[in-house]
Each structure stands twice: as C-alpha cells, then as structure tokens.
Amino acid sequence: MRFLAGGPAIPDELLVARDNGRVIFFCGAGVSRARTGLPDFFGLAEAVIKELRVPATSPAHKILAEARDIENRTGVAGLISADKLFGLLERDYLRRDIEAAVAKSLRPKDNADLSAHQILLDLATAPNGRVQLVTTNFDRLFNECKAGVGCSQFPRLPDPARQGDIDGIVYLHGRATAEYDAAENEGFVLSSASFGRAYLSDGWATSFFKEILKRFVVVFVGYTADDPPVQYLLEALNLDLGTLEGVYAFQSGAQDEAVERWRHKGVQAIPYDPKAQHEALWKTLEAWSVRARDIDGWHNGVLRKALEGPRNLAAHERGQVAHIVSTPEGAKRFATYDQTLPAEWLCVFDQGVRFARPSHLWVNHQRGPYVDPFDLYGLDTDDPPKQIDPDDHFPKREIPRSAWSAFDVNPGDFTGSSPNLSSPLRGYGSTAPAAIPLRLQIIGDWITKVAHSPTAVWWAGRQVGLNPELCERIRWELRQDGADSDVRRCWRLLFESWAHRPRPHRREWYELQEATKLDGWTSTAIRELGSISRPYLTAKPPYLEGPIPPDPEATVDIDRVVRADVEYPDVTMDVSVPAELSLQLIRECRRNLETALDLETETGGFDLDRISPINRDPDPQIDGHERFRGLSRLVLSYVKMLSAYLEVNATACRREMMTWPLDDDTIFARLRIWALGNDKMVPESSVSETMDMISRDAFWSPYHQRDLLLSIKQRWESLGATEKSEFERRICEGPARWEEEDQEKYDERRAWAVASRIQWLASNTDGLSFDVTGLLAELRISAPDWNPGYADGATESLEGRGGVVQKDKDISSLNNMPASEVLAFSRQASSNRREFLVERDPFAGLVEKYPLRALAALTYAARTNEFPQWAWDRFLSADARTSDKERLICLIAERVIRYPVDCLTFIIRPLARWFKTVAGKLSRSDVSVFDQLFSKLVEILKANPESGVSAIIRGNKEPDWTMEAINAPVGNLADALIQDPRKDGLTAKQGFPAKWLAHVEGLLNLPGDLRRHALVIFSHQISWLDAVDPDWTRSNILPVLDGEDTLDEDAMWAGFLWAARVPNTELYQLLKPHLLRRAREKNSGRRGYNQVIAGMLLAGWASRDQSGEKLISDQEFHDLLTTSDDDLRQNVIWQAKSFADDKDATVPETGLNWSELLVMLLKDVWPKQKAAKSPAISSRLCDLALSAEDNFEVMVDSILPLVSKIEGDQMYSPIADSTENTVIEQFPSKFLELLYAVLPENAKSWPYGAARALKRIGEAEPFLKTDVRMLELLRRLEFG
C-alpha cells in the first residue's frame, strides 16, 4: 500500500504487524543524516581523521580516499568497510580518543530538526504505549525527542523473549554521553574488532537479533545494504537461516536494483525514489506515523473518502481501500462503516473488472465514450496494462497472475482466529458447503448491504457464481429492504443460473454413460439423463455492454445490467433403451421441452421461432448445424423417439400427444403440425379436432410453414371432403391482422401469404375444390407484385445458409459493350446478387480472358483521372498476370508511367504487388521501362508516405517488422529488386550495378516505417549483399546498428534473424558486438527471435576464425549468459539440444559433434550464479539429461553444479514416468543423485512422475533403498 502517490509501497503484512505492535524499527545513520545533517559511517571516519589530525600518509587516510574513489568509479559501495578504517586507527590511537572524536563529531546543532526521529518514535510506539526501537547510531537524538523514554545498551540489553521487556530505545552499538565528549558504558561498536566481538566471537548482538526475529517483524530504516551493521548482522544470520522471514528494509533506487541489493541478505527491500533528499520516503513515514498515532482515525479517514466512490479517488487511494479489506479487521471496518460504502468498490476488488477490455459505453443503444476500466478502478500496485486503440476490434488484455483480488483467499485468512473451514463427514452439516474465511464472510456482509444496487447486480452477472450462504443472505436482504423489482428479478435470475449450472466438461454425462455400461439403462438412469439434459437459465452480460457498471443514480435498465439466456446441455436424449423404458424416456424428453418452453418464454421467446423444420430441407446450402444443438435438437430427438415408439404402441403415443399444452404456438404447435402428417398419430377421424388445436397465429407462422404444407400434402389424398374443406377454409382465411397495422398493408400481406400457399398446394396435390385461377387473380389486386414463382419457395427452410461464395465470371453481358461502359456496368453487376452464395464479377472474367479489353476500360477511365481501386486491384492481382507475355507487361508499365502521381496513390498496393510479380520478366524485356516504373512507384511513396503503410494492422501490439514489411508496398518493391536479373551471376566483392544500388538507396531513403520495411528485406539478404559488395553493405546497412533510431535497429534485426542464416566469419565478427548487445536486451523485439539468437550465439561459440580462436570466446559467452534473462538461457539449452540430437552433425573447424560440445558448454561456459539456477533453467537442464540416454552419467555430472530445486509446475516434462525411458534402469545411482539435487522439501510440489521414479530406482538397484538420499526423499514423500 502507498500512503502517497509515487511513494514506496509498504507490504500489507508489515502495516498490519505494526498496528498490532509486532514491529521493531532498526534505525541507522540515514535517520540522523536526513534532517539533522549528522554524518554517515564514512563521514564519521573523515571527521575523526580530521579531529585526530591523522597524517595524510597514514594507512587509514589512504584507505578512506581509496574507498571513496572505488565507490565513485564503480558505483558499488561497501567494498571497503568503514569499520576497517576504525580498526586501522585503533593501531595508532587509544580507543577513548577515537570515541571522544566520534562523540564530538555527532554533537547536533542547536535547534536541530528532530522531526525524522520523532516520526520513527511514533512508528515504534506500539498501541500499548511501549517503544520498540533499536538504533545503531551513537547520537542521543531519539532521547531528545521524547523525554523519559527508557534506554538500554550492552551489556544490559532487554530480553526479547520476556513479554514487554523491550520498552524504550535500544542503543545496540553504544551511545554518546550527554556532553558528546565520550562513549557511555562499554564504548562504541566501531572498529572491525568490536564488530567481531559483538557479532561473531561473543555474538551478543547476533543473539539479541535472533531472539527479536523469533517474535517480531523487523524494519530497517536509514541503512544501505552495505553498511557495517548490516554486513555483520544479516550476512551471518542469512548464512545460518537462509531467507529471513519478516525482515524489511527501505532502500533508495529503482525496483530491481533495490531488491537485488538486499535479496542475498535475505531481506525484502521496499524501494523508493531518492529525489529531493529522500522526500518520498520521509513523507511516507510521516503519513504512516499519523496512522500509528491514531489507527482508528486513519482508517475512518480513508473510508470517509471512499464514500465518494472509486472513480473519484487516485490509484494509490484505491490501493489504501484495497489494503483495508485485505485483513479481517479491515474488512470489518469497511463493512460496518457508518455509511454503507458504494457497490462500485466491487469493481476495484475484482481484478477481472479492473483489467477488462476497454470499450465504448452504450446509452439508449447509441455508442457513447470510449472507457478503459483500469483508469477508473486500477490500483497503484497493479502492473499497468498496455493501452488499446479504440479502432482495434479484437484487442487482448490478459489479467496478470499477480493482480490482487479482494475475493481470493490470502495467507492472512488462515489464522488461529479463523472459523472452522471444514465440513463433517456425516450429519446435518455434511451436505453444506465448507465455510469461507472470516474476512470473506465480512465482505459478503457488505455485499448483502449493497445488493439492492444495480452496480452489485452488474458485477454479480459477470461471476461464475457466489457462495451459496451469501446467496441466501442476499435473498433475505432483498426481501427486507424493498429493493427495486427489476433488481430483485435480476438477482433471482442469477440465483437460478448459478443453481443449475452443470459441472464442467459434461462430467455427469460421461459418468452416466459409464454407469449404464455396468448396470444398463434403468428408470433411475433415465431420470438422471432427463435431469442432466434439462435446459436451464444462464445470466450473461448484455450484448451492448460497456466495461463499467451503469450509473447508480440512473433509473435501472435491466438490459444494461444482465441478460437472461437459455442454455441447452450438450447431451443427447436420443439413446437406445429397453422397449419397456421407451415411454419413460419420451416423457422425460417432453418434460424438458415443457421446461424449455417456460424458460424461452420468460427470456423473450426469440429462439422459439427458430426451431429447425422437422422435415429436413435437402438444400445443401442449408446450414444443418442448428439441428444438432439447442432447442432444435431436443425437439427432433423427441420426434425421433416418438416415431420409433409409434411402431410399438401407437395408442400410447396418441395419449402422449394429449398431454401437449394447448396454449403454445411454438414447440407443441409444431409437434401437432408434424403429427397431422402421420395417420398413426392423427387418424382421419381426429384431423379436424387436431386442426382446431392449432391457433390461427401458429397456422400462419412462417417458421411452421414448411412442416405444415408437407403434412397437408402427406395426408391430402386420404382426407375426406370435410377435412379438405376445413384446410381450404383456413388457408383462404389468411393470417390475422396485426395490432395497429394499416389496412392496405394488411391486405397486401394477407394476399401474398394466401396466394403462395394456394399456388403451392395446387401444384403439389391432386387439386383444390375451388377456382384457384380466379382466386389468385383476385388476390393479385391487393398484391400486384406477386407471381406464381414465389410459391416455389413456400417450403424452403428458414434455417441459416452457408457455404463458399462462388464467383460468376461470365462475361457474356460485356460482349460488344464499349470500353467506356465496362467498369460502371461491372460494378453494378457485382452489387446485384441474384443467387445465394454467388457473386457476379464479369470484370474478373474479362481480366482473365481478354486482358487488353480490361486494360482498355481502365485506360478510358484514366482519361478523366478516374482510377477505381477495385478495378485496378482485380486487373493487377489476377492470377493471369503471372503468365502475361513481356509485351503486355511492358504495355501495362508504360501506361502506369504516364499517369499522374496523385492519381496512382490509391492503387499503390496492387501496383507494387504486380511489379514484384513481373519484375524479372520486365527487366529482361526492357530494363529502361523497369527503371522508370520503379522510380515512379518510389515517387508515389515519397509524395504520399501514408499510402505505403503495411496491410498488417499493428494496433496496440509491438511491431512485427517482418510481417509488416512483406505486406507493404516498399517490401514488394525491395523484393522486386532482389528478382532483378542485373544482380545475377555476380562474383564475390565484384560490386552491384550503380543503377541497381541507386534503386536500393531510394527505398532506404524513404521516411519512417517505409525505410524500415526496406531494411527488413535487405537485412534478410545481408550475407549475400556483403559477399558481393562488402563496402556498400558496411556503409549503408551495418551503420544502422550504431545509430540512435531503435526502430530502425529493430527492423534490421528482424530481417537478419528472419533469415536464420549464420553469416561468413568476417561479417559475423562485425556483427558480434551488436549481437551480444541484442541478446542482453530484454525487449519484446528480441524475445520473438530468441531461438534464432541462441542458434547464432552457439554457432559463433563453436566456430573458429583463421587464427583458431572462437568467434565467441568461453568468457564472452559466459558473461552473456550471466547477464541475460531466463528466456534466452532456456533457448540456448533448447537449441544446443536440437544440435546434439543430430548425431552426424559436426563442426568443420574442430571435428567435434554437438554432443561433445554440449558437455563443454555446460562445464566450461554455463554460469553458476544463483540467477542462472532458476527452477525454469534447472528444469531445462534436467530435460537435457533425461533425454541423453547415450551419455546420461556425463550429462548428470555436467548439470549437477548448475541446478536448483524444481517445483511441479516448473517441470516441462514428467520425470522419467515413461517405461520407454530406461535411464533409470541403466543408471539408478546417478538418477538418484539427480533427483536428490532437484526435488524440493515439499513433496506436494514434486514434478509428475517423481514418486514413480523412486520406486523404479529401488527396483533397479535394491541396495539403493537404504541409501541416505533415498531415505530422505522417501521421508519427504511420506510427510510432505
């Protein structure tokens, strides 16, 4: 948490520990130097040397000067420790004289500013009033801040093990007398000898600190990691204890630098900006001291401001609220504050909302402002996400794994005061969910208070679910406080959605299938199938949702909050069951249909009209996917089961039909319509009765029409006159008039509908009983545009259609058409689609068959400065252009050369692509035309650089220079030059033709990204360019690597690494310093090519120059691997393994194969620093050894000094779990040695297969079962 914007972030656990009185502050020289101006340890040495008039020739004087000089030159402090200076002084001066000089130099000025000391005293004063402060300073300034505070120093130090014994200021290294003329008691801990006694030989200071660490959290203020007290104290402790728990230190500097300075001492650094005399630190400590003096007041102040809502607070202020709710005590303050805090804080507490994709708000279905939720809800401790371009319609924004969430369980939730989080094995509580931690329960209390807010519902609608107990409390709360009815409805929808959400991955269905394989289908199994296939409600974000909740002050708009939908489990009910259970299965399916009807009706009923026809449309363009999912699958499964059972028991099927609801015009109306077509389901005597059950709306529904007409056709011949007459009456009646529909519009709509059905029936049955021709003529009075052809589509399915769009390139419509009309006619023809999935494009056909006619049409348009992009693109991009004769290519080029630059701007892309395609032919045919056209295209790009941007949309992503270049006009032009035959057949160092080089330089002189696109293409060919013309290449391409334009450099590296070719020795040596620098960089541009860079580095290390020296020496490679990151190191291992897998590959200069070189790499080059022994690297090295069956023992011996412990999720492959890998049986002892080196203490974190490997080791070599390493690993396995 930060008290101030830009200040140091103090860990939550440290803040809480201080509030609880469990922190001891260790204060160093920086505290007295901050505002009082007293010297640090070296300043003290200088003052003493001056006071004692130590000769300039003395060792102490020389060492002091050398220490200052070393620090200034290297930037590394502490290489020469100040205590050694005092040790040298003790050789020549009495200790009391040195101490007197020290005391004198520490005398503060009158009216010294003691505010820094007061701040620390306030912080060190626990809530019970005890002062818990230790200082290694000799001055008495803490005493002067607070009269009467207790003090102690060696040998009468307090005992941290005794409750309350630490109450006052502990002067660990002694204290000056009140007159500042000497040291009190035992003197100062000042020289290396006195430090040795305190921390090593006698060890009283070390013992004191160890006892503190057992009971308190420690904070170092005013120290650097290299100060003598820290050096002696922490390094000794860290040697014994490893990483120290609960020890913190404020450290100036950048994050990584500050952390690294303390890491090896086992201390967690708290970095801060040292600007303005460490202002960020002292203002933060001052603000912290305000909290220390009044804990309740500070919390109330933060919560009072939180009432304004998170949008009105700064990121660090939101972070303070986040800190408060991270503990049970803080969460209680938040939840029970005098006024209920706004529900919008849910958006801050939920990392999914903070890091949601930005988008536009929607107001009344109109697009509003573009909003990034991180700007409104982000925390100061969050890693800021990349900005997303509003025009990027497919943005990605990942939630960092480290992102804080109030709803995740944190370590502080598991304390002795937490409730029992387990459930009993049996009894009343055994079926209830386990209790959640107290803190989350308290946050749940607050959520119930704000449940009436639309914001709370909006947030809940984006959750997979909430704790069942919390849901019950929200239900109760909503019944009490009279919440808005729409809010209550939303909550009920969410509760139902969460309650019926199935288990993931269709687990119930797979388990049921396994059960039926064992026990067969039973009534219980069928009921279970009905249950797991039952539709259920889901709550989803609205279609036009914004990334933030609606305005809480606005009227609740249910559509802005949550959207209800019906979900159909991906489970089929169409299974084969015994005949005696078929009817039960049919009934279960019908119950699911009834549930679907209720749910779909509740959510708007849109999908009820989208049921696929029961009689499938044979049209291959119909997308039949919908028939096998959702409601359609359920209906069709029911029909299939009912049809099959009709052959067994028609009477039972008719009884089943009688259960269908009568008031439904959708699902069950469709089923009745289908049943009408089957004389077993609906005998002739029941046709009229069944017809009466189909409402007028259902009868005229366009979605039922196909099944209705086909059912009528199926039964028509067998029906009696009365039944036929009833069908005819209902058809002639037509659909009902819609409410408020204009009479004339209704008459036309009715006429169309009736006419189409009558015409279809007249054409597909043995005839109707009335004058069809006369009636149709009468109907056409109201619908004059209707014609009998429309009836052909009366039974077409309304399902979606799909397929591949075909191009109709028929050019018959262009026959005999003058050139002046071709383009306009073709454009119009392309926009008129007469057939589904067929696009008319006569101009594309003309381009292929008669290119001269197409060119004539383009030429005619060009006379009036018209250059339609679509037409030129069709012409130039046609496949036929690749086989054009040289004469036509020259004709096209000459026409383009004559056109004005500004007119060609919009067709530069197809022009550049075409030029690349024909470059070779054109240059061979007429090099002059080639040069003129090239110059023309470059002129276009110079005049309008924006026309040359890549077709690859970068958005907010890092540039992919390779992809951008090959999809840009400049990239095409550069490729065209590469195909120019003038550069063919050139010998080494012959040089390129001047004209050709002029063209290359023309591209390289273009501005911005256009130049970079050229750099990519030419850098891709740099080995060839350097071989033919080294002088030009080294004057025009290589200098980019020494320039200040990092984007140019990135583009050049992208082209070079894209080629993935190792250059010749001379060029490699020129590139080497830049390659090593590139490999050290941690930018994303490098990461994309890390595998290639690794291969280049290995190739240089394995190769020799003419003098026999490696192109990259062992030391250079070692230094690079030491200073680079894990990503590069992993790629080096992976690439070296790939080389070694090729058993026949050898390095020509040495004759060594890569298996031998790999061992040399590990033994002679690979760094042994801690940073290079990360779990990820250790895992890669283990994989290396496990795959080396031929020389497993050698590989294990090579990697053992280089590995550390590996957790389970950090292992890339199982540890020898496969029986195909026999290294365990071949080398059991060596395998055990490897496992002992990499398996961590906690066996739960072991990689997959580790336990099995131990068993195989024991089976392979029984005596190893009693090996101490095996016994230790088995102990970890048993108790881990």
Tens-digit pLDDT profile for residues 475-525: 998 887 677 888 888 899 999 988 887 666 678 888 899 999 999 999 999
pLDDT band at 712 (very low <50, low <70, confident <90, very high): very high
Torsion sign over Cα 459, 460, 462, 467: positive
Q: Are 130 and 118 in contact (CB under 8 A)?
A: no
Question: Is residue 52 in a domain?
Answer: yes
pLDDT at 924 > cutoff 50: yes
Question: Which residues make Cβ contacts (< 8 Å) with residue 797, sequence separation at least 6?
Answer: 612, 613, 616, 617, 619, 622, 706
What pLDDT, on the 0 to 100 scale, is given for residue 78? 56
Residues 1189 and 1067 reside in one and the same domain: yes
**To the nearest whole number, what is the mean pLDDT of the chain?**
89
pLDDT at 798 > cutoff 90: no
Residues 252 and 322 reside in one and the same domain: no
320-363 pLDDT, tens digit per residue, is 999 999 999 999 999 999 999 999 999 999 999 999 998 888 76
CA 1203 – CA 1174 distance, rounded (Å): 8
Question: Is residue 1255 in a domain?
Answer: no
Residues 752 and 894 reside in one and the same domain: no
Report helix, strand or coil for 366. strand
Average pLDDT on 189-200 reads 89
CA 1179 – CA 688 distance, rounded (Å): 78
pLDDT at 242 > cutoff 50: no
Which of 544, 554, 543 has its CA nearest to residue 367? 544
CA 873 – CA 22 distance, rounded (Å): 75
pLDDT at 1084 > cutoff 60: no
What pLDDT, on the 0 to 100 scale, is given for residue 858? 96
Cis peptide leading into 155, omega within 30 of 0? yes
Residues 284 and 349 reside in one and the same domain: no
What is the H or E stretch that residue 363 is in?
Answer: strand 359-363
- The one-letter code for the residue type at 1040 is V
Inter-CA distances, 253 with 272, 282, 1104, Å = 6, 15, 43
pLDDT band at 241 (very low <50, low <70, confident <90, very high): very low
CA 527 – CA 525 distance, rounded (Å): 5
Give, to the nearest 10 degrees, the angle between helix 886-898 and helix 927-943: 40
Q: What six digits make up the tokens of 898?
A: 């004559």
- The one-letter code for the residue type at 773 is T
1163-1174 pLDDT, tens digit per residue, is 999 999 887 888
Residues 414 and 338 reside in one and the same domain: yes
**Can you give the C-alpha Rg of the chain in angstroms?**
42
Residues 309 and 371 reside in one and the same domain: yes
Average pLDDT on 544-573 reads 79
pLDDT at 123 > cutoff 80: yes
Which of 79, 63, 62 has its CA nearest to residue 71? 79
Average pLDDT on 941-970 reads 88
Using CA atoms of 498, 502, 505, 510 in order, give the dihedral in degrees to the nearest 10.
170
Of 429-443, 692-706, 1034-1048, where does mean pLDDT reach its minimum?
A: 429-443
pLDDT at 1012 > cutoff 70: yes
Average pLDDT on 921-945 reads 96
Q: The domain spanning residue 167 has which CATH number?
A: 3.40.50
Q: Estimate to the nearest angstrom the gap between the alpha carbon of 594 and the chain centroid.
A: 42
Average pLDDT on 604-611 reads 89
CA 522 – CA 581 distance, rounded (Å): 8
What pLDDT, on the 0 to 100 scale, is given for residue 757? 95
CA 32 – CA 1003 distance, rounded (Å): 63
What pLDDT, on the 0 to 100 scale, is given for residue 1241? 83
Average pLDDT on 731-736 reads 95
- The one-letter code for the residue type at 769 is S
- Mark which of 793, 818, 844 sits at the end of a domain: 793
Of 142-151, 844-853, 1112-1121, where does mean pLDDT reach its minimum?
A: 142-151
Residues 1205 and 1122 reside in one and the same domain: yes
Residues 34 and 48 reside in one and the same domain: no
CA triple 864-866-868, angle to 5 deg: 160
Which of 232, 164, 194 has its CA nearest to residue 28? 232
Question: Is residue 963 in a domain?
Answer: no
CA 433 – CA 440 distance, rounded (Å): 14
- Rounded to a whole number of angstroms, the distance between the first and last alpha carbons of the chain is 34
Write down how long the chain is.
1280
Question: Is residue 484 in a domain?
Answer: no
Q: What six digits make up the tokens of 113?
A: 């500013």
What pLDDT, on the 0 to 100 scale, is given for residue 37? 92
Report DSSP letters for 660-709, one per residue.
Answer: S-SS-SSHHHHHHHHHHT-TTTS-GGGHHHHHHTS-HHHHT-TTTHHHHH
pLDDT at 559 > cutoff 80: no
Residues 272 and 239 reside in one and the same domain: yes
Which of 55, 165, 41, 18 has its CA nearest to residue 106? 41
Q: Are 1172 and 1121 in contact (CB under 8 A)?
A: yes
Residues 681 and 774 reside in one and the same domain: yes
Residues 33 and 44 reside in one and the same domain: no
pLDDT at 805 > cutoff 80: no
Q: What six digits make up the tokens of 238?
A: 């860290």
CA 326 – CA 817 distance, rounded (Å): 79
Beta bridge partner(s), residue 248: 219, 268
Question: Is residue 509 in a domain?
Answer: no
Question: Is residue 469 in a domain?
Answer: no
**Percent of the chain predicted with pLDDT > 70:** 93
55-112 pLDDT, tens digit per residue, is 888 888 888 888 777 777 766 565 677 788 888 888 888 999 999 999 999 999 988 9
- Helix ranges (DSSP H) in 242-337: 255-263, 275-293, 295-306, 315-324, 328-335
Q: Are 670 and 611 in contact (CB under 8 A)?
A: yes
Q: Are 321 and 314 in contact (CB under 8 A)?
A: no
Which of 1032, 1025, 1089 has its CA nearest to residue 1063? 1025
Which of 425, 501, 427 has its CA nearest to residue 468? 501
CA 355 – CA 400 distance, rounded (Å): 9
Question: Is residue 1239 in a domain?
Answer: no
CA 594 – CA 598 distance, rounded (Å): 6
CA 25 – CA 122 distance, rounded (Å): 11
Of 264-268, 271-275, 323-327, 856-860, where does mean pLDDT reach its minimum?
A: 264-268
Question: Which residues make Cβ contacts (< 8 Å) with residue 1246, sequence separation at least 6?
Answer: 1208, 1239, 1240, 1277, 1280
Q: What six digits make up the tokens of 421?
A: 């989080």
**Percent of the chain predicted with pLDDT > 90:** 65
pLDDT at 819 > cutoff 60: yes
pLDDT band at 1086 (very low <50, low <70, confident <90, very high): low
Of 495-504, 559-568, 793-802, 864-873, where does mean pLDDT reach its minimum?
A: 495-504
Which of 701, 702, 763, 768 has its CA nearest to residue 732? 768
What pLDDT, on the 0 to 100 scale, is given for residue 1197? 95
Q: Which residue has the higher pLDDT, 433 or 1?
A: 1
Using CA atoms of 791, 793, 796, 798 in order, give the dihedral in degrees to the nearest 10.
-100
Average pLDDT on 463-485 reads 87
Q: How many domains does the chain have?
A: 6
Report DSSP letters for 1126-1194, one per residue.
Answer: HHHHHHHHHHHHHHHH-TT-B-TTT--BHHHHHHHIIIIIS--SGGGG-HHHHHHHHHHHHT--TTHHH
Number of Cβ atoms within 10 Å of the Cβ of 478: 18
Question: Which residues make Cβ contacts (< 8 Å) with residue 648, sequence separation at least 6?
Answer: 579, 582
Torsion sign over Cα 235, 237, 243, 246: negative
What pLDDT, on the 0 to 100 scale, is given for residue 166? 94
Using CA atoms of 135, 136, 140, 144 in order, give the dihedral in degrees to the nearest 10.
-20
Inter-CA distances, 466 with 272, 483, 484, 845, 1080, Å = 39, 20, 21, 61, 47
Q: 1065-1069: list long-range contacts, CB under 8 Å, 24+ apart.
A: 1065/1103, 1065/1105, 1065/1106, 1065/1111, 1066/1030, 1067/1022, 1067/1023, 1067/1026, 1067/1030, 1068/1100, 1068/1103, 1068/1111, 1069/1105, 1069/1111
According to DSSP, residue 199 is labeled: I
pLDDT at 254 > cutoff 50: yes
Of 265-269, 674-678, 853-857, where does mean pLDDT reach its minimum?
A: 265-269
What pLDDT, on the 0 to 100 scale, is given for residue 554? 60
Question: Is residue 518 in a domain?
Answer: no
Number of Cβ atoms within 10 Å of the Cβ of 650: 15
- Helix ranges (DSSP H) in 1040-1107: 1046-1059, 1065-1080, 1084-1087, 1090-1102
- The whole-model pTM stands at 0.73
- Mark which of 742, 768, 793 sits at the end of a domain: 793
Beta bridge partner(s), residue 135: 27, 171
**Which residues constitute the domain of residue 898?**
806-948
The backbone region for 10, taken as left when phi is positive above 0, alpha when psi lies in -120 to 50, beta otherwise, is beta
What pLDDT, on the 0 to 100 scale, is given for residue 1221? 63
Residues 613 and 755 reside in one and the same domain: yes
Q: What six digits make up the tokens of 1227?
A: 């080398």
- Mark which of 293, 309, 344 sits at the end of a domain: 293
